[in-house]
Amino acid sequence: MSESKPGWKSIPIAGILLEPGSAMKYKTGSWRAFRPVIDEEKCIGCFLCWIYCPDGAVIREEKSVKINYDYCKGCGICANECPAKAITMVEEKR
Amino acid sequence: MSKVLGLTGDGAVAYAVKQCNVDVVAAYPITPQTLIVEEFSEYVHNGEVHTEFVCVESEHSAMSACIGASLTGARVFTATASQGLALMHEILYIASSLRCPIVMGVVNRTLSAPINIHCDHSDMMGSRDCGWIQVFVENAQEAYDWVIQAFRIAEDPDVLLPVAVNLDGFILSHSLEGVRVLDDEKAEKFVSMRKPVLTINPDKPVTVGAICFTDFYFETKRQHVEAMDNSPKTISKVNDEFAELTGRRYGFVDTYEMEDAEAAIVCLGSTAGTAMAVAKSMRAKGKKVGVIKPWVYRPFPTEQIIKATENLKALAVLDRACSVGAPYGPLCSDVIAALYREGIKLNLFNVIYGLGGRDIRPTDLEAIFNEALEVAKTEVVKEPVKFVGVRE
């Protein structure tokens, strides 16, 4: 992997990223060991999971939420905070 | 015309900083560095400088604030000692890795325990791999001169590394000396303004300190090494310009009577002054001894050490710090590594001295010179590491 990337002579100094918003390019979903799965029947639409998600990986919709699995690291905070127990952490089997 | 002021070592540092157009000072007082912060805060209070002085709650915060300020393009100074430097330790690496050209006065004091406020070099040696340029000075004049040069070296776009100017606690920090200072205008012209290369600026957002895992960390560190390896060019250029301005000539190492010396002492800081005085009196008795004083410790002056020692028969390397469990003290390890690189086998021994501020007396140094002369004659090193000045 590292061979195909630019070397020390051509990258900006000090690990500085010259382009803002580049975190979007770094998909962290592969870090996940457990995936949050929403039970829309149980969801009461309180959006606490959306508030608590440290990665902004919970997407707010009209009545319920969706998870962006490209960035969700599977920390489980959403499931822990959900007052309706509508989120289950399911083991990733890849 | 330049004038001579009566200044302590700390006072000389504060005076130099006053003349260097410094935008931000974030510092926390710690003995024996306190005088720097005190005197500089008076300059701020009296309106003699435009500097933003940040009274932080710890050295960890001091260095963190310095980094933030430096990233905006500001010229930044701080000072610390001992436990303060140790508390900064993790942030020192961040300052150098983020390529922040901060200048710091380090007033060398030992590390606890037992608690002790006096001089040795354990503090800087404990952080010697932090990626900063490190300078050691012999007296207050050198402290003043190197602080002024440090801003130029640190901020050079080819370098962009922080610089620590080390001066011996109490021995230099609190001793009054005549210091030849530059006129304000001359100093200001010499240091000029910082011309930052990459800064944090809302009009052109960048990300600083982003995560860098297995795929880019190594490249970033390799750049850091390159910056340090390139710094000698800038250091020499600044030394030349400073010599032109003041008549005071600095370099990587200072040497005394080394042309035909058979035995010599290598040491850092104020001890070199005593060693030179002792060498002078021994020379009068026909003993061929000399002194090598590295001004610049990082980047290590490998070439200059090799050149200075080329005609020697024996060498004593003095360490005012000990690396417990290592084969030699830090300076001695570096000297040996430098010589080894060129395949030079010089008979030498290491002297650990002066820990916790224990005096090193002229008679101690004379005995060390005599032992080195004995090694020169016999070509036998009886004791590779000696402790001088400690009670059995």
Domain count, chain B: 2
Determine contact: B208 vs chain A, CB below 8 A: yes
Determine contact: A25 vs chain B, CB below 8 A: no
Q: In terms of domains, do B133 and B202 share one? A: yes
Nearest to A14 among B99, B222, B226 (CB): B99
- pLDDT beneath 50, residues of chain A: 1
Optimal mutation site among A2, A8, A19, interface B, most CBs of chain B within 10 A? A8
| CA triple B128-B133-B78, angle to 5 deg | 90
Residues of B with Cβ-Cβ distance to A17 under 8 angstroms: 206-207, 210
Q: In terms of domains, do B311 and B239 share one? A: no
| Cβ(A4)–Cβ(A47) below 8 Å | no
Q: In terms of domains, do B235 and B312 share one? A: no
Half-sphere exposure of B347 (CA within 13 A, CB side): 18
We report the CATH number of the domain holding residue B86 as 3.40.50.970
Tokens of B386: 């000696």
Burial class (CB in 10 A: 0-12, 13-18, 19+), A94: exposed
Distance CA A15, CA A6 (A): 12
Bridge partners (DSSP) of residue B289 are: B263
pLDDT confidence of residue B122: 98
Tell me the domains of chain A and their CATH numbers: 40-94 (3.30.70.20)
Q: In angstroms, what is the C-alpha Rg of chain B?
A: 21
Burial class (CB in 10 A: 0-12, 13-18, 19+), B160: buried
Domain C-terminal end among B246, B267, B288: B246
Q: In terms of domains, do B86 and B209 share one? A: yes
**A7–B208 C-beta distance less than 8 A:** no
Phi, psi of B192 (to 5 degrees): 55, -150
Domain C-terminal end among B221, B246, B271: B246
Residues of B with Cβ-Cβ distance to A13 under 8 angstroms: 99, 160, 198, 220, 223, 227
Nearest to A16 among B198, B214, B227 (CB): B198
**A17–B206 C-beta distance less than 8 A:** yes
Q: In terms of domains, do B266 and B222 share one? A: no
Give the residue from B136, B130, B85 showing the smallest Cα distance to B294. B136
Boundaries of domain holding B149: 3-246
Domain C-terminal end among B196, B220, B246: B246
DSSP B166: E
Q: What is the edge-to-edge ordering of all strands in the sheet holding B52-55? A: B52-55, B24-27, B76-80, B103-108, B163-168, B133-136, B296-298
Q: In terms of domains, do B186 and B240 share one? A: yes
Q: Closest-CA residue in chain A for B201?
A: A18
3-class DSSP assignment, residue A61? coil
Chain A and chain B share a number of CB contacts under 8 A equal to 56
Give the residue from B184, B153, B171, B146 showing the smallest Cα distance to B12. B146
Q: In terms of domains, do B28 and B123 share one? A: yes
Q: In terms of domains, do B140 and B25 share one? A: yes
Q: In terms of domains, do B224 and B336 share one? A: no
pLDDT in tens, chain B (392 residues): 579 999 999 999 999 999 999 999 999 999 999 999 999 999 999 999 999 999 999 999 999 999 999 999 999 999 999 999 999 999 999 999 999 999 999 999 999 999 999 999 999 999 999 999 999 999 999 999 999 999 999 999 999 999 999 999 999 999 999 999 999 999 999 999 999 988 898 999 999 998 888 999 999 999 999 999 999 999 999 999 999 999 999 999 999 999 999 999 999 999 999 999 999 999 999 999 999 999 999 999 999 999 999 999 999 999 999 999 999 999 999 999 999 999 999 999 999 999 999 999 999 999 999 999 999 999 999 999 999 999 99
| Closest approach of A18 to chain B, Cα-based (Å) | 5
Buried b (16+ CB within 10 A) or exposed e, B129-149: ebbbbbbbbbbbbbbbbbbbb
Distance CA B223, CA B245 (A): 32
Query: Residue B256 to residues B28, B167, B267, B361: CA-CA distances in angstroms?
Result: 37, 20, 12, 19
pLDDT confidence of residue A25: 87
Bridge partners (DSSP) of residue A88 are: A37
Determine contact: A15 vs chain B, CB below 8 A: yes
Give the residue from B7, B16, B12, B19 showing the smallest Cα distance to B50. B19
Determine contact: A83 vs chain B, CB below 8 A: no
ipTM: 0.88
Q: In terms of domains, do B127 and B147 share one? A: yes
pLDDT confidence of residue A93: 87
| Cβ(B213)–Cβ(B38) below 8 Å | no
**A16–B206 C-beta distance less than 8 A:** yes
Tokens of B236: 């020499």
We report the CATH number of the domain holding residue B373 as 3.40.50.920
Q: In terms of domains, do B134 and B259 share one? A: no
Nearest to B198 among A1, A13, A20 (CB): A13
**B210–A17 C-beta distance less than 8 A:** yes
pTM of the model: 0.94
Residue B344 CB neighbours (<10 A): 14
Residues of A with Cβ-Cβ distance to B161 under 8 angstroms: none
Residues of B with Cβ-Cβ distance to A12 under 8 angstroms: 198
Phi, psi of B45 (to 5 degrees): -60, -40
Close Cβ partners of A70 (under 8 Å, ≥ 6 residues apart)? A27, A29, A57
Distance CA B43, CA B24 (A): 13
Q: In terms of domains, do B168 and B271 share one? A: no
Q: Closest-CA residue in chain A for B212?
A: A15
3-class DSSP assignment, residue B371? helix
